[in-house]
Copies of this chain bind each other. A is one copy, B any other.
């Protein structure tokens, strides 16, 4: 491996001068600079980032912890994070925690061991207290999901309002019995969306029926299962609001299997507006989150924190949108 010393020897200068050339320090004569640059090219010298990072105590790397990249919701969020990072000279390190606290802790070692300069939590499984502690010592931001009592900034949508809007959409179409399929992961978005669902019912004078709420795993199977249960009720719902598109698709598939037509016999609303929502047949009515911007703003806050050691922990809420498609209006 070629080191800065090799370059210095070959160019007949000291390592300090080579380092200055590398870092565009002004006090290097152009003659020397050219000479050194020529040698760097000839030897194909690549500075060792470990040495540099050790000295500067920064690595220009950001850890992004998410549940699993297979969740299609994340792709654009990550893109937003990445673009802003890239613009600031930072690399992104994506890691799946699989919602496993042990794994999350292992990855957090990277933060504690200084291998990354900061971290984004896309679905923390740490406790509020742990997260607060980390926030005190390291640069971290929460994105999309957040721990309510953690003193760490967060960027998300207003989940109560979004769920309200989705539910109200169904109510405005005349539905009175609206099933709600929630997740069971203990995420804050789950309780907030349930709150919005209930609020919309209440505001419209529809009594809340606890039988119309199911908690199941995020995903297709959860949607199938919950819907099967709904449809076997004596007085089944005429509409379903699910907290993810994939759950909603499971619901539609199950409804079709049971001979129901969507939206005629059962209207379905999803959440997230992932790619599949528009592709499905029928295309899915859903809440669109500003996914790219969620990532972008999160990263902007993180960059700001790293630059200025800014420590306030605000909560930021971005705009969402109801996208009406065939699964509710046909």
> Which of B1, B59, B94, B220 contacts A50, CB < 8 Å?
B59
Residues in B neighbouring A69, C-beta threshold 8 A: 69, 74-75, 78, 94
Question: Which of chain B's residues have a CB closer than 8 A to the CB of A46?
Answer: 109, 112-113
Task: Report A18 CB to chain B, min CB distance, Å.
Answer: 16
Chain A residues near B (Cβ < 8 Å): 1, 46-51, 53-54, 57, 59, 61, 68-70, 72, 74-76, 78-79, 82, 86, 91-96, 103, 107, 109-110, 112-115, 220, 246, 249-250, 252-253, 256, 275-276, 278-281
- Given known pairs A69-B94, A92-B95, A281-B253, the reply for A49 and B276 (CB within 8 Å) is no
Chain B, residue nearest A94 (CB):
B94
For this chain, the copies found in one complex come to 2
Residue of B nearest to A50 (CB): B54
Indicate if the CB atoms of A50 and B53 lie closer than 8 Å. Answer: yes
- Is there an interface contact between B114 and A48, defined as CB atoms closer than 8 Å? yes
In the bound complex, do residue A70 and residue B249 qualify as a contact, i.e. CB atoms below 8 Å apart? no
Residues of B within 8 A of A91 (CB): 93, 95, 107, 110
Known A69-B74, A253-B279: A96·B113 in contact at CB below 8 Å: no
Residue in contact with A276 in the complex, picked from B53, B103, B276, CB distance below 8 Å: B276
Given A1-B114, A94-B94, 7 other A-B contacts at CB below 8 A?
Answer: A47-B113, A48-B114, A51-B54, A68-B75, A91-B110, A92-B94, A220-B278
**A256 adjacent to B281 (CB under 8 Å):** yes
Verify B250–A279 contact, CB threshold 8 A. yes
A selection of 15 A-B contacts at a CB cut-off of 8 Å is: A1-B57, A46-B109, A46-B113, A48-B114, A49-B114, A50-B50, A50-B53, A59-B115, A70-B72, A70-B79, A82-B96, A92-B94, A93-B93, A220-B279, A256-B281
Residue of B78, B107, B110 touching A96 (CB-CB under 8 A) = B78
Provide the residues of chain B in CB contact with A72, threshold 8 Å: 70, 72
Residues of B within 8 A of A276 (CB): 276
Q: Are A75 and B82 in contact (CB under 8 A)?
A: no
A207 shortest CB reach to chain B, Å:
34
